[in-house]
Amino acid sequence: MSDRQMPPAHPFDFDAIDGDKLHEECGVFGCIGVTDAANFVALGLHALQHRGQEAGGIVSYAPDHGFNSARRFGYVRDNFTKQSLMETLPGALAIGHVRYSTAGSKGAAIRDVQPFFGEFSMGGAAIAHNGNITNAEALRRELIERGSIFQSSSDSECIIHLMARSLQRDIPSRMEDALRRVEGAFSVVAMTRTKLIGVRDALGVRPLVLGKLGDGWCLSSETCALDIIGAEFVREIEPGEMVVITEQGVESTKPFRAKRSRFCIFEHVYFSRPDSIIGGQSVYETRRQIGVELAREAAVDADLVCPVPDSGTPAAIGYAHESGIPYGMGIIRNQYMGRTFIEPTEQIRNMGVRLKLNVNRALIRGKRVVLVDDSVVRGTTSRKIKEMILDAGAAEVHFRIASPPTAWPCFYGVDTPQREKLLAATMSEEEMRDHLGVDSLKFISLDGLYRAAGEDGGRNNAHPQYCDACFSGEYPVEPADMIEKGFKLKAAE
C-alpha cells in the first residue's frame, strides 16, 4: 500500500468554516454474503459520511483475488463511485471506514486512513475502528520497544500489533486478546477471509448495529446506512459483545468484563443522523423532545423560533410546538457547500459562515427571534450568526441550546478543542451571554437531556446512564494518555 497520496496542500474546508462543533471521528460499515460487497459498503459509508469527511477506505476479499484495498482522501461519492476503482474490490466480504481529520492530525498521510490490514500466520485480517484508545501512547511505546514497526500515527494500529503478538490460534481470539489490553471506546468492524467480526467495548460508548441483507449480513455505525442499502435492522451489538459472522450465521460472545453501559449521549444530540434509531428510539424524536424540554426549562417571550440548520432543526420544532411560538426557517443553508479543496482569497475566507448560511430577511425583520442550536463549543459561529440575524433587522436574539454547556473535552473518538478553548470551561452562562452579545442564552439541563432521551427520572435515576463527560467532567474511563500529558480530571482541579 502506498502512502504517496497526500491531502491537497492548502485545502479550504468549507465544512470547517463553522467548525464550532464537536466532530465524530469515524464511521464503520461491513458486509458478508452479498455479491459485490464493496459496492454496498460504499453506499453504507456514503450514508455515514457525516461521521467523517476527510478520507475513506474499503478492504474486500474474494477467494480468486485475495485481499484488496483502496483508501482515498475526500468524500465517498467522489472516489468509491468510480467503476474502475470498484472493480478492484471484488468479493462477497468487505469492510470500510470514513474518518474525520482530528485537530492533531491535519496533514495526515494516506497510511493513516483505515481499514488497516495485517498478515498473520493463519491468514490476513483487516480492521476499521470507531472510537479512541485512551492508553494508545503507552501501548505504542511498549509495542515499539518489543519490536513492532508502526506504519501510521493512528491509535487504531495498536490493535493490529497486539493481535500479531497474541498466541491464540485464530483471528477472533487474537482480536479478543488485543482488545482486552485496550482502554477507551471502540466499535470495531473487522474481516478475515471468511468472517465478518463486530466488537463493542464494555461500556458501549460508540454505536454499532447488525443488519440483514438478503442471505447476507451487515454491521454499521448507524441504522440509516442499513436503510440506504435496503437491509433490515436486526439489533444493536451489545456493550462488551463480539459477533463473528460467517455465511452460516452469527455467533455471539461476551469476552469482556460486564460493565454498566455508558453510551455517548451526544450521539442523540448531534452526531447520529436524525433518521437513525438508537436504543429503540428515533434520533429525530429525541431531538424534538430536547426542544420540548428546553421550552419548559427556558421559556421566553418571542415572535419566532428558528433553527440553526440543519442540526438545530428538530429541537427548534419541539421548542416551537411546546412554547406555541411560530416556527420559521430564518436561516437557510446552502446544501451544496461541501468540502472544497481550493485555495481561497482572503476575501472569501472572511465571508466565513455567510458562504454556508444566509438569513431569510423578510421573515426575521422586526421580530424577537429564538435561535435553537445543538451546542456551543468555542462560540465563534454563534457570534457570527447573531450578527447576521441582527443585521437582517431582528428586534431581539435569544439563544436556546439543545445540550448542556460543553465544558470538557471528549477523549472517546470525538474531535474537541483543548479545554481552555471551550467557552463553557472558562465562562459562566451569564458571561457567555455577554460574550455572544445576545439578549438571553439558555442551555438544556443535563436532567432535561436525559428526560428527552427517555430517562424520566433524569440523570441520577437513569438506566442506562450515558457517557456525558463533555458536560459533567465525569469520565467513565480515565484518559490515561492525556493525564500523563498534564490533563487534570475534575476531582484534581
Q: Which member of 179, 205, 304, 376 binds ligand SF4 (CB under 6 A)?
A: 205
Cβ atoms 298, 322 nearer than 8 A: no
Residue 306 annotated as part of some ligand binding site? no
Query: Please, which residue, 176 or 267, has the CB nearer to ligand SF4?
Result: 267
Cβ atoms 402, 441 nearer than 8 A: no
CB of 389 to ligand SF4, least distance (A): 28
Q: Give rounded-to-5 percent helix, strand, coil for the chain.
A: 30, 25, 45
Q: Which member of 34, 179, 414, 453 binds ligand SF4 (CB under 6 A)?
A: 414
Angle at 418 between CA 415 and CA 419, to 5 degrees: 120
Interface stretch with ligand SF4, choices 90-98, 163-171, 284-292, 409-417 (CB under 6 A) = 409-417
Query: Please, which residue, 176 or 201, has the CB nearer to ligand SF4?
Result: 201
Closest by alpha carbon to 263, among 210, 324, 208? 208
Q: Which member of 155, 176, 241, 468 binds ligand SF4 (CB under 6 A)?
A: 468
- Report the distance separating Cα 257 and Cα 314, nearest Å: 37
Q: Which member of 67, 412, 450, 487 binds ligand SF4 (CB under 6 A)?
A: 412
The 425-464 site mask, x for binding ligand SF4 (CB under 6 A), equals ----------------------------------------
Note whether 410 binds ligand SF4 by CB under 6 A: yes
Residue 439 annotated as part of some ligand binding site? no
Q: Is 174 left (phi over 0), alpha (psi -120 to 50) or beta?
A: alpha
Q: Using the 8-state DSSP alphabet, how is residue 477 labeled?
A: S
Query: Please, which residue, 272 or 323, has the CB nearer to ligand SF4?
Result: 272
Residue 440 annotated as part of some ligand binding site? no
Query: Please, which residue, 62 or 423, has the CB nearer to ligand SF4?
Result: 423
The 365-404 site mask, x for binding ligand SF4 (CB under 6 A), equals ----------------------------------------
Distances, alpha carbon 45 to alpha carbons 155, 371, 478, in Å? 21, 32, 31
Q: Which member of 93, 160, 452, 467 binds ligand SF4 (CB under 6 A)?
A: 467
Query: Please, which residue, 67 or 412, has the CB nearer to ligand SF4?
Result: 412
Query: Please, which residue, 304 or 410, has the CB nearer to ligand SF4?
Result: 410
Q: At which residue does the C-alpha cell 501510521 appear?
A: 152
Residue 215 annotated as part of some ligand binding site? no
Note whether 487 binds ligand SF4 by CB under 6 A: no
Count of all residues that appear for the chain in the document:
493
Closest by alpha carbon to 67, among 98, 38, 89, 43? 89
Cβ atoms 308, 376 nearer than 8 A: no
> Could you tell me the end-to-end alpha-carbon distance of the chain, in angstroms, rounded to an integer?
46
Of residues 239-298, which lie at the interface with ligand SF4 (CB under 6 A)? 264-266
Cβ atoms 3, 116 nearer than 8 A: no
Residue 224 annotated as part of some ligand binding site? no
Residue 470 annotated as part of some ligand binding site? yes
Residues 6+ apart with CB under 8 A from 296: 322, 448
Residue 218 annotated as part of some ligand binding site? no
> Is 224 one of the catalytic residues?
no
The strand ranges marked E within 376-452 are 396-401, 414-415, 440-443
Q: Which member of 469, 479, 480, 481 binds ligand SF4 (CB under 6 A)?
A: 469
- Give the annotated binding-site residues for [4Fe-4S] cluster: 264, 410, 467, 470
Query: What residues are annotated to the active site?
Result: 26
Residue ranges in contact with ligand SF4 by CB under 6 A: 22, 205, 264-266, 410, 412, 414, 467-470
